[in-house]
Amino acid sequence: MAVATCLLCEAACGILVDDTTGAVRGDPRDPMSRGYVCPKVVGMQDLHDDPDRLRTPLIRDGNGFREASWDEALERAGAMLRAVRDKHGPNALAAYQGNPTAHNLGLMTIAQAVLRTLGTKNLYSASSADQVPHMRAAHEVFGHVLFMPVPDVDRTEHLLILGANPLVSNGSIMTAPDFKRRMSGIRERGGRVVVVDPRRTETARAADQHVFIRPGTDGGLLLAMIHTIFAEGLAKKSALVSGHDELRRAALPFTPEAMAAPTGIDAGTIRGLARDFAARERAVAYGRIGICHQEHGTLAAYLVYALNAITGNVDRPGTMMWSTPAAELVWIADLVGLSGHSRFKSRVRGALEVGGELPIAVLAEEIETAGRDQVRGLITSAGNPVLSAPNGRRLEQALPRLEAMVSVDSYLNETTRHAHVILPPVSPLQRSHYDLALNAFAVRNGAKYVPPPLPRGDSERDDGEIFVELGLRLRAPGLARFAALARRLRPEAILDLFLRIGPHRLSLRRLREHPHGLDLGPLQPRLPKLLRTKSKKVEVAPPALLAELPALSRSLASAPDLVLVGRRHLRSNNSWMHNTARLIKGRERCTLLVHPRDAEARGLTEGALCELSTARGSITLPVEITDEMMPGVVSAPHGFGHDREGTRLTVAGAHPGASVNDVTDEERLDRLTGNAAFSGQPVTVRRATKHDAPRADAPAGATPT
Ligand SMILES: Nc1nc2c(c(=O)[nH]1)N[C@H]1C(S)=C(S)[C@@H](COP(=O)(O)OP(=O)(O)OC[C@H]3O[C@@H](n4cnc5c(=O)[nH]c(N)nc54)[C@H](O)[C@@H]3O)O[C@H]1N2
Ligand SMILES: Nc1nc2c(c(=O)[nH]1)N[C@H]1C(S)=C(S)[C@@H](COP(=O)(O)OP(=O)(O)OC[C@H]3O[C@@H](n4cnc5c(=O)[nH]c(N)nc54)[C@H](O)[C@@H]3O)O[C@H]1N2
Ligand code: SF4
Ligand SMILES: [Mo]
């Protein structure tokens, strides 16, 4: 048995891997997860064993791909990317890093270092389809994009969840293995869990109270709660917090009565939510992807922090706190330039940067639009933006125009099929692991280093090694003399340094002495030392955010007839867990959830196909009628659409579904960060006619040439 960590979601559960069969199970000695694993864990073994997983680099050859040696593939990749840069300058090269980057030591260290020294402003990642609103809000309120707080769920008496479904997602920006047990713990202590969500989710059903909300209106609800807290004298001043009066004044027009119609929550319920929250000694509000995927996502994220701060629920046990990771993520971020926002803009649309990256929503137009600094080369790693980006179909049609595209990924999928060279890393069970990112957002402090659980062949490489080689080939020739040194550079060396200078003064050696992981105890107060705002206080009234309130009011006034939200499934993970037979089996999952009233009005019947349309186009998917939806809201998952030609996804191809991002709008963004506003998008739904067979038509321009 080898000790390992499950890398499939942010819970980072400890697992044991049978070194002969590769079977995985929970590790009871892991101090964080204590033996817990969710049903998705079998994906770790299935990915490793998957015959479709690439073991050898591929080079595009005519209409297909051929296998190539690492030397040939790396040389080709390097030469193509260099040619683009030499001819068109550094900004002509773009890079996109996907979600699994956060679970990969090599991608977090070496790839970051390589990509962020390319000298291009065209860096993109899944963050701009995910958490950049939290990052911008954390910068305004606490002084750094990475000071995103975590709810101290193990000690709180009141947890208010907005736009998250941790019983399914297993928690996000909240590393909390076995969230269900932790949630039960709150209730066993006599506490309450309240969920605000346009769907009565798995988490909502297990909570004490669930409140439906009109998508995209959380800012209005939070302001009305803040209004109530000030109006009823429930606010608690703290020497740590600055801006109470400005926030109180700003919230004055947002009375519960005024916010009832836009949010769909009656004034009495809003007051009740505020009073219950303020009444507890230890309460914490936590918002996640549902509040980020909005046109006012940054405002909503900020107002969650502000609600905590003005009720005294900050930096104390059971409230909004910060992890103390053994290797400080923030220091690494500062080194690679991840700190800050709005320092530069995208070329075509003028979208603002956050953390040194531009919004993924603008990548397609940067490829399409001629002119100086047009993107002509792209490196993708651990990402599938054709299925994950807003209007991924437009991006899919732009990719074939690239002069060079290199993908570091284990699959020939909807995105990588457009690459000229695919460089496949080892499986997650064949590389070492330390959670640089997730430990920084854990609900309990801990540290664990895992050597590669399973062996690998001589010809296999991990992501760090691939990026060292790619980096060397992208460097100016003069630097080649450091090649020998660079080739010996291991992520472990960087990690060891950061552990030694980190707050717990650990080292790689110490971690190796505790193979199942080290428990570093419950969260500790970190303020005011952590803060980097000018005032050295928690800023609950940042002018740049309060300036957005008139725009929020305007958008609260519009109420589309029918809007779309997303959802996740326990046995899935974005786009890339659909190729494991054990996980995809069972009922069709790529369905549209529709409230009975909305179904009836449109003549939709259970199981029949419907056409979901936006200004961007239409997709066809089966209807599931359920009163777990709020009337006027429909829900579809993302990450499907595996019917594209030229991929190598045998199992997923048999359960293709439709990609909701074929129709999401790349112009509909969070105003302050450019994050994709997937949620609350106006849609129309009608019965599909006979001609609307589920899509099998890859758009014309999108087949690899
Ligand atoms: N099993 C599984 N786990 C996952 C993933 C997966 O695909 N599958 N993906 C991982 C990733 S990449 C992430 S980022 C995390 C995300 O983790 P979570 O944030 O917990 O994600 P979701 O489960 O999508 O929950 C979002 C909820 O927001 C609700 N919502 C939508 N719009 C609004 C709104 O306007 N207001 C409010 N209040 N709620 C709204 C949705 O109905 C949904 O229930 O999950 C991670 N974990
Ligand atoms: N409509 C809608 N769209 C969404 C969302 C939504 O809720 N609704 N959620 C958004 C969110 S939160 C996210 S995070 C994004 C995710 O967007 P992406 O990160 O672009 O997509 P994933 O589906 O996570 O694709 C991960 C890819 O990484 C590869 N991979 C896995 N592990 C490794 C590894 O260790 N190394 C390398 N090199 N490759 C690896 C997989 O094979 C797969 O191709 O999607 C976003 N898109
Ligand atoms: S919750 Fe499931 S998928 Fe997430 S780390 Fe744990 S076992 Fe893996
Ligand atoms: Mo995500």
Select the CATH number that applies to the domain covering 559-687 from these four: 1.10.1370.40, 3.40.50.620, 2.40.40.20, 3.30.300.30. Answer: 2.40.40.20
As a CATH number, domain 150-321 is 3.40.228.10
Rounded-to-integer distance, Cα 49 and Cα 13, Å: 20
Q: What is the DSSP string of 351-418?
A: PEEETTB--GGGHHHHHHS-STT---EEEEES--HHHHSTTHHHHHHHGGG-SEEEEE-SS--TTGGG
Task: Evaluate whether 216 touches 294 at the Cβ level (below 8 Å).
Answer: yes
593 Cβ below 6 A of ligand 3 = no
Q: Tell me how far apart the 2 most distant CA atoms of the chain are, in Å.
A: 71
d(CA 7, ligand 4 centre) in Å = 14
Ligand 2 nearest-atom number relative to CA 428: 35
pTM summary value:
0.97
Task: Evaluate whether 341 touches 136 at the Cβ level (below 8 Å).
Answer: yes
* Residue ranges of the chain that CATH labels 3.40.50.740: 58-130+326-489
What region does 34 belong to: left with phi over 0, alpha with psi -120 to 50, or beta? left
Q: If you compute the radius of gyration of the chain from its CA atoms, what whole number of angstroms results? A: 24
Q: Is 35 exposed, middle or buried (0-12, 13-18, 19+ CB in 10 A)?
A: middle
* Residue ranges of the chain that CATH labels 3.40.228.10: 150-321
CB atoms within 10 A of CB 413: 26
41 Cβ below 6 A of ligand 3 = yes
163 Cβ below 6 A of ligand 1 = yes
Rounded-to-integer distance, Cα 254 and Cα 594, Å: 31
Q: What is the DSSP string of 619-653?
A: EEEEEEE-TTBPTTEEEEESS--TT-TT---HHHH
Rounded-to-integer distance, Cα 619 and Cα 641, Å: 10
- Closest of 146, 127, 138, 545 to residue 357, by C-alpha: 127
Task: Evaluate whether 661 touches 394 at the Cβ level (below 8 Å).
Answer: no
d(CA 359, ligand 4 centre) in Å = 14
Roughly how many angstroms between the first and final C-alpha of the chain, as a whole number? 46
d(CA 406, ligand 3 centre) in Å = 30
580 Cβ below 6 A of ligand 2 = no
13 Cβ below 6 A of ligand 3 = yes
SS3 label, residue 258: helix
Query: Would you state the structure tokens that stand for residue 411, as one six-digit string?
Result: 């699959």
297 Cβ below 6 A of ligand 2 = no
Tokens 């809003």 correspond to what residue? Answer: 270
Ligand 2 nearest-atom number relative to CA 381: 38
Task: Evaluate whether 35 touches 55 at the Cβ level (below 8 Å).
Answer: no
Q: Please state the length of the chain.
A: 705
SS3 label, residue 345: strand
Cis peptide before 528 (omega within 30 of 0): yes
- Closest of 173, 260, 28, 143 to residue 533, by C-alpha: 143
Query: Would you state the structure tokens that stand for residue 160, as one six-digit string?
Result: 């208010």
443 Cβ below 6 A of ligand 1 = no
Rounded-to-integer distance, Cα 270 and Cα 217, Å: 13
- Closest of 10, 47, 11, 48 to residue 32, by C-alpha: 11
- Closest of 286, 40, 33, 274 to residue 149, by C-alpha: 286
- Please report the sign of the dihedral spanned by the C-alpha atoms of residue 147, residue 153, residue 159, residue 160: positive
d(CA 386, ligand 2 centre) in Å = 10
Rounded-to-integer distance, Cα 474 and Cα 82, Å: 6
Write the CB contacts of 117 (distance below 8 Å, at least 6 apart in sequence). none
384 Cβ below 6 A of ligand 2 = yes
411 Cβ below 6 A of ligand 2 = yes
Low-confidence ranges of the chain (pLDDT < 50): 478, 694-705
Question: Which-ligand-closest: CA of 630?
Answer: 1
103 Cβ below 6 A of ligand 3 = no
d(CA 606, ligand 4 centre) in Å = 30
* Surrounding residues of ion ligand 4, Cβ less than 5 A: 130
Q: What is the DSSP string of 159-214?
A: EEEES--HHHH--SSSB-SSHHHHHHHHHHTT-EEEEE-SB--HHHHHSSEEE---
H/E run at residue 57: none
d(CA 569, ligand 1 centre) in Å = 9
- pLDDT reported for residue 207: 98
- pLDDT reported for residue 283: 98
8-state DSSP, 318 = T
- pLDDT reported for residue 2: 97
Mutate to test the pocket of ligand 3, among 15, 30, 33, 41 (most ligand atoms within 8 A of CB): 41
Question: Which-ligand-closest: CA of 100?
Answer: 2
Mutate to test the pocket of ligand 3, among 13, 435, 580 (most ligand atoms within 8 A of CB): 13
290 Cβ below 6 A of ligand 2 = no
Mutate to test the pocket of ligand 1, among 127, 195, 289, 633 (most ligand atoms within 8 A of CB): 289
**What Cα–Cα distance (Å) separates residue 107 from each residue in 25, 39, 53, 101, 157?**
26, 26, 19, 6, 38
Ligand 3 nearest-atom number relative to CA 44: 8
- Please report the sign of the dihedral spanned by the C-alpha atoms of residue 194, residue 199, residue 204, residue 210: positive
d(CA 534, ligand 1 centre) in Å = 33
d(CA 571, ligand 2 centre) in Å = 15
566 Cβ below 6 A of ligand 1 = yes
Q: Which residues, listed in sequence order, are joined to residue 592 by a DSSP beta bridge?
A: 623
Write the CB contacts of 558 (distance below 8 Å, at least 6 apart in sequence). none
263 Cβ below 6 A of ligand 1 = no
Rounded-to-integer distance, Cα 335 and Cα 326, Å: 17
- pLDDT reported for residue 485: 73
* Residue ranges of the chain that CATH labels 2.40.40.20: 559-687
- Closest of 120, 127, 115 to residue 464, by C-alpha: 115
Ligand 1 nearest-atom number relative to CA 165: 20
Q: What is the DSSP string of 557-597?
A: T---SSEEEEE--TT--TTSSTT-HHHH-SS----EEE-HH
681 Cβ below 6 A of ligand 2 = no
Query: Would you state the structure tokens that stand for residue 72, as one six-digit string?
Result: 């040939």
Task: Evaluate whether 296 touches 167 at the Cβ level (below 8 Å).
Answer: no
102 Cβ below 6 A of ligand 3 = no
Rounded-to-integer distance, Cα 434 and Cα 449, Å: 5
Task: Evaluate whether 381 touches 407 at the Cβ level (below 8 Å).
Answer: yes
Question: Which-ligand-closest: CA of 101?
Answer: 2
Query: Would you state the structure tokens that stand for residue 442, as one six-digit string?
Result: 């854990």
Q: What is the DSSP string of 93-105?
A: EEEEE-GGGGG-H
Q: What are the backbone angles phi and psi of residue 9, rounded to the nearest 5°?
A: -155, 180
Rounded-to-integer distance, Cα 287 and Cα 1, Å: 38
110 Cβ below 6 A of ligand 2 = no
- pLDDT reported for residue 113: 86
- pLDDT reported for residue 160: 98
CB atoms within 10 A of CB 519: 15
d(CA 672, ligand 2 centre) in Å = 23
Query: Would you state the structure tokens that stand for residue 450, as one six-digit string?
Result: 């895992």
Let me know if domain 58-130+326-489 sits in CATH 3.40.50.720: no
- Please report the sign of the dihedral spanned by the C-alpha atoms of residue 675, residue 677, residue 678, residue 684: negative
Task: Evaluate whether 632 touches 562 at the Cβ level (below 8 Å).
Answer: yes
Q: Which residues, listed in sequence order, are joined to residue 150 by a DSSP beta bridge?
A: 321
Q: Would strands 158-162 and 192-196 be described as parallel, antiparallel, or unpaired? A: parallel
d(CA 42, ligand 3 centre) in Å = 9
- Closest of 111, 176, 178, 204 to residue 494, by C-alpha: 111
9 Cβ below 6 A of ligand 3 = yes
